[in-house]
Amino acid sequence: MGGSGVQRPLKFIKYLREFGWNPIVLCPETGSYQVFDGSLQKELDEMNIEVYRVKASTPFHFLGQKKSKNLISVSNKKAQFLRKISKLIYYPDNKRAWIKPAITKGKELFEEKNIDLIFSSAPPFSNHLAASELKKITGVPVVLDYRDSWLNNHFMTDMFSWQRKIMMKMERSCLENADTIIGLDKHMVNDISNNHPELKLKTEIVSHGFDPEDFNLDMDTKFDYKKGKLNLLYSGLFYESNQPDILLEALEAIFKDDSDVKNKIHLHFQGGLDKRINKLIEKLGFTSIVTDYGYLNHNEAVKNLVKADALWMISNFSENLKQIKSGKLFEYIGSEKPIIGFVHEGEASKLLETYKAGFFASPNNSTQVKRVIKDFLVKWEAGDLPTPNQGVIQKHNRKFLTNELASIFNVISA
């Protein structure tokens, strides 16, 4: 599969052997999905890692195996509707049908191999249920890695109280069985602990990151760089609450104040724009200053980060969700480019501040957004944009982070 969620476990797999751990991967067979990424599959193949894929009758597999890497366009309303229906039917998520096959195959692997530890990364949280059951069967230590909070993530905010009770019971059963819980930051691990105050949990923090080797690939890109203009790039998909409207409308207001500014900026999007966004771009008269590359494989996407002058992101989830949500922010940091972030106060804004080359504004405050963009343009024209903090960059190197993970494994398995 493509998408940012794939990269955390993939990069751990890539570097773990350098720190004394040999990964064996258990996962479902390929099913239908919105995006596929051949560059990430190629990277996995070149690692020569043992990968075991099991049959799984999830909704993704009922739809058949899709070999195309092209983006399947789904409207935001339709995607939101499908997620709501899915949440009413499947617990903990629509991948749950892979749990039994995973346990069956997992038991076989334990009989055949000398396995020292179980590591599960979620979402999907079905992974944690499978890992927890294997721990019960084998007694081997289990580490549960949270890329999102189970109960308090942006896809769970509209749960009914009875749904939340079901989810809480499932999570508790996994946490009771876990040797260590890993979260992306202190807000996430505190959130997990606060949801289950009756449990004494051992928690650790291992951040998201970037792989420096991704930025050193020798390859051409089709990035349509506009000389003499600020080339501002957004990388990734847009979700229901995360839309580019706030940026586009702020730019419209800036252009009304000074029409010459429109000739100084070009917007680049990679990940795919839906019909609604394209109509908005056309309505605002921005077609001539926008380039949309659609979905790109990871290698191409990273190279474009390096080609751009500056990068921007938006994280307009609930203000209560203060943990960092977007893996893209860390790849942005890996590019060492200036970053404009429309984020609520929390871990993301703190990270942008310590990065030094970060600018941020509230994602629902048009006045702040307009001011930040204008300030950024002034500094860019003057050649006065700040340089990034190298200490922050090195701290989020995937190899460094995998060493942290391996150190946690060493303590648990000692």
Question: Structure pTM?
Answer: 0.88
Other Cβ atoms closer than 10 A to 389: 17
Domains and CATH numbers, the chain: 4-209+398-413 (3.40.50.2000), 213-395 (3.40.50.2000)
Start-end of H helices in 230-322:
245-257, 275-283, 298-307
Q: Quick one: pLDDT at residue 172?
A: 97
- Asked if 103 and 137 count as a contact pair (C-beta separation under 8 A), the reply is yes
Which among 72-76, 131-135, 234-238 has the top mean pLDDT?
A: 131-135
Which pLDDT score is estimated for 267? Answer: 98
Q: What is the pLDDT of residue 78?
A: 57
* CA distance linking residue 300 with residue 157, whole number of Å: 34
Structure tokens at 302: 């990273």
Does pLDDT of 157 surpass 80? no
123/155 Cα distance (integer angstroms): 11
Amino acid (1-letter code) at residue 359: F
* The pLDDT value given to residue 75: 45
Residue 57 pLDDT class (50, 70, 90 cuts):
confident
66 pLDDT band, cuts 50/70/90, is very low
The token pair at 208 is 């998201």
Least confident of 184-188, 283-287, 296-300, 313-317: 313-317
pLDDT averaged over the chain? Answer: 89
The mean pLDDT value for 23-39 works out to: 84
- Residue 88's pLDDT is what? 74
Read off the pLDDT of each residue in 190-196 and give the average, rounded to a whole number.
94
Residue 217 dihedral angles phi and psi, to the nearest 5°: -70, 135
**Which of the residue ranges 41-45, 135-139, 143-147 would you say has the lowest mean pLDDT?**
41-45
**DSSP β-ladder status, 290-292 and 265-270:** parallel
pLDDT per position as a tens digit, 306-355: 999 999 999 876 555 555 557 889 999 999 999 999 998 888 899 999 99
Residue 207 has pLDDT above 70, yes or no: yes
211-239: pLDDT as tens digits: 999 998 777 788 999 999 999 999 998 87
Provide mean pLDDT across the span 273-280: 94
Burial 73-88 (b: 16+ CB within 10 A, else e): eeebeeeeeeeeeebe
Average pLDDT for 272-286: 95
Contact status, residue 217 vs residue 298, Cβ threshold 8 Å: no
Question: What pLDDT, on a 0 to 100 scale, did the predictor assign at position 37?
Answer: 85
